[in-house]
Amino acid sequence: MHQGKRRSGAGRPRAAEIEERAEALLEVAEQALIEVGYERATLTLIAQRASVSKKTIYAKYGGKPGLLRAVLDRIADRNMAADLRLLDRDNPVEGLYEWARMIMRSTRTRAAHAVTAISMREGLRFPEFRDAMEEARTLRQQTPLRSYLERLRARGLIRPVDCEEVASMFLWILSQDMVDAVSAGTVEPLTDEEADAKARRVAELIAQGLMPKAGNA
């Protein structure tokens, strides 16, 4: 007796399907976070919207903090260059300009504004959310920017400065427009031209302070 052909799609899900489901869950969790905030974005709500069980979420992320940490990492990754080596310019002004443009793009998104507002409202009551935001920013932006500055320093293209401190200051300056807008309750983003002009100004300002002094190059 011949066995029938195995139904298409039967058996264990393929890697691509698993990836699609994981991405769909993160998208649902992100939208829930933006819409209702950290406290009200419960696992029950997210599981219902994503049509998955809470057991599945616990198995993959360990609970709500782990899931929303993954969401924040996803937001921080958005608009970042796929290959940061493409930003590795020997000219500090041009290199920092490209970094500034990329970071400005990431801070001008609806999601970036939303999570900043949530952190301001709920960060004191839920320090795990505030800490996860800071960790995502450090890992996705500050650490690779520091590494770029360290490479410039090793080549003698900038002064022997504290690259961690410079990277932190650079990101702080670039994010202030977004923070000020959120604090004031406005949502008007900078235009592309305004953002590009600010990226250029900040890059030139920081690079000027990093240039080796004459005779020390």
Average pLDDT along the chain, 217 residues, taken 10 residues at a time: 48 75 94 95 96 94 93 83 74 94 83 88 92 89 93 95 96 83 67 88 95 69
**How is residue 49 written in tokens?**
């919207």
Domains belonging to the chain, first-starting first, are: 15-75 (1.10.10.60), 79-210 (1.10.357.10)
- What is the distance between the terminal CA atoms of the chain, rounded to a whole angstrom? 84
Q: CA 94 to CA 204: how far, in whole Å?
A: 9
Contact (CB, 8 A) for 59 and 94: no
Provide the pLDDT for residue 1. 46
Taking the model in full, what pTM does it have? Answer: 0.79
In sequence order, what DSSP letters do the residues of 56-109 get, joined into one string? Answer: HHHHHHSSHHHHHHHHHHHHHHTTS-S-GGGG--SSHHHHHHHHHHHHHHHHTS
Provide the pLDDT for residue 2. 47
Contact (CB, 8 A) for 33 and 41: yes
Provide the pLDDT for residue 10. 53
DSSP 141: I
